[in-house]
Amino acid sequence: MVIKLRFMKRSQKGKLSYNRCIKSLLSLPLIFLFLITGNGEAAQSLDYITKKDITFPSEEIILAGTLFSPPQPQVAIVLVHGSGQEKRMTRFAERLATHGITVLTYDKRGVGASGGIYAGPEVGTNNVDSTNLSLLAKDASAAVNKLQEVAMDLPVGLVGFSQAGWIIPMAATQNSLVDFMVLFSGPTITSLEQLRFQFHTNGDPNYWETHSEVDAREAIKKDPDRFQFTPIDPIHPLNNLAIPGLWLYGAKDIQVPAQRCIEQLNQLKEEGKPYDYRIYLNLGHNTATSSDETPVEDAILWIHQVLNSKKIL
């Protein structure tokens, strides 16, 4: 049995009218096949997820992606990449779509079928300076606009990974259509601070067995910068946002200092921001793609809880 939520269309300012109509305990037609997942959510079969390739403009280029649509969606999201030459995230989009979520995933600019020029160390350029991250935020905002065209009566969120911790807050401040955000291992520290920490841990998978939180904090604060550029500080847009947000961290992360980020999120929560987080003691940086599916399940559950609790205004 499923409770369906209906939303009025958005105003031109992108806000949802909360004249909802809740159809209580109406089962879907029998043509839809449902599976029950570990967290009790009803999951639709992939057989009934429709896929459509789409394109949309952003900053004088054309980005290419795919729209995944379940039969009766409750919410819509745009997936935002982490670092690297990332194409559209098909498998992750399919998983979310089976939980009543319409998903738009696209090839990063300069990758796959998307136009533009890719920036990253693989091609000898900086992908974490303010210029490139701001450009990627505009791409994410353009994707939200495209998604809203095809999902006009649905709340829209941004879900992203790692580097998206800098991109999503900027995109959300630029686009009032964004109703919530979910960030897997997303940094809340500046991009320069993150690089200090990453160089300090030096890819050592056993770093947290031989070092303390104090060691990490000292490195983040005092280690010399190997590169000079204008960094992004996500705290600025996070201070200006009022939408719900969820961050999911692995305690063994050696790319993003989870405890420092959680400390910053707690400060924002004390100031009244509707932010939440989860910490997984046995996981590292790849909270969205590890064999432990708990973070993804928690994110899906949180999205539906936010919808049902009427925190989206």
pLDDT of 164 strictly over 70:
yes
pLDDT-based confidence at residue 35 (cuts at 50, 70, 90): very low
CB 115 within 8 A of CB 140: no
What b/e readout covers 243-252, taking b as 16+ CB neighbours within 10 angstroms? bbbbbbbbeb
Q: How confident is the model at residue 152 (pLDDT cuts 50, 70, 90)?
A: confident
What average pLDDT score do residues 169-181 get?
97
Looking at residue 308, its pLDDT comes to 87
53-107: pLDDT as tens digits: 999 999 999 999 999 999 999 999 999 999 999 999 999 999 999 999 999 999 9
- Which sign, positive or negative, has the C-alpha torsion 234, 239, 245, 247? positive
Q: What is the pLDDT of residues 231-273, one digit of tens each?
A: 999 999 999 999 999 999 999 999 999 999 999 999 999 999 9
**Which residues are registered as beta bridge partners of 67?**
52, 104
In sequence order, the 6+-apart residues with CB closer than 8 A to the CB of 20 are 5, 6, 7, 8, 310
> What span, in angstroms and rounded, lies between the C-alpha atoms of 155 and 178?
8
Cα-to-chain-centroid distance, residue 171: 11
Write b or e for each residue in 76-90: b if 16 or more Cβ atoms lie within 10 A of its Cβ, otherwise e.
bbbbbbbbbebbbbe
Q: What is the pLDDT of residue 10?
A: 41
For 150, the token pair is 């095809």
Specify the DSSP element, H or E, that contains 235. helix 235-240
User: Residue 76 — φ and ψ, nearest 5°?
Assistant: -130, 145
- Res 109 pLDDT > 90: yes
Q: Of all residues in the chain, what percent carry a pLDDT higher than 70? A: 85
User: What mean pLDDT is predicted for residues 101-118?
Assistant: 97
Domain ranges of the chain: 2-308
Residue 61: CA atoms inside 13 Å, Cβ hemisphere, count?
18
What's the pLDDT at 311?
63
Q: What is the pLDDT of residue 162?
A: 97
pLDDT at 154 over 50: yes
Q: Are 181 and 168 in contact (CB under 8 A)?
A: yes
> Could you tell me which CATH number the domain at 2-308 has?
3.40.50.1820
Q: Cβ neighbours of residue 285 under 8 Å, at least 6 residues apart?
A: 162, 185, 250, 253, 254, 255, 256
Dihedral over alpha carbons 93, 189, 140, 51 (to 10 degrees): 0
Which DSSP string do the residues of 192-225 spell out, in sequence order? HHHHHHHHHHTT-TTHHHH--HHHHHHHHHHSPP
Strand ranges for 37-126 from DSSP E:
42-44, 50-58, 61-69, 75-80, 101-106
Interval 268-310: pLDDT, tens: 999 999 999 999 999 999 999 999 999 999 999 999 999 888 6
| pTM recorded for the entire structure | 0.85
The predicted structure's pLDDT at residue 98: 95
First to last CA, the chain: 26
- Structure confidence by residue, pLDDT tens digits, 11-29: 333 333 333 333 333 333 3
- For residue 7, pLDDT over 90 is answered with no
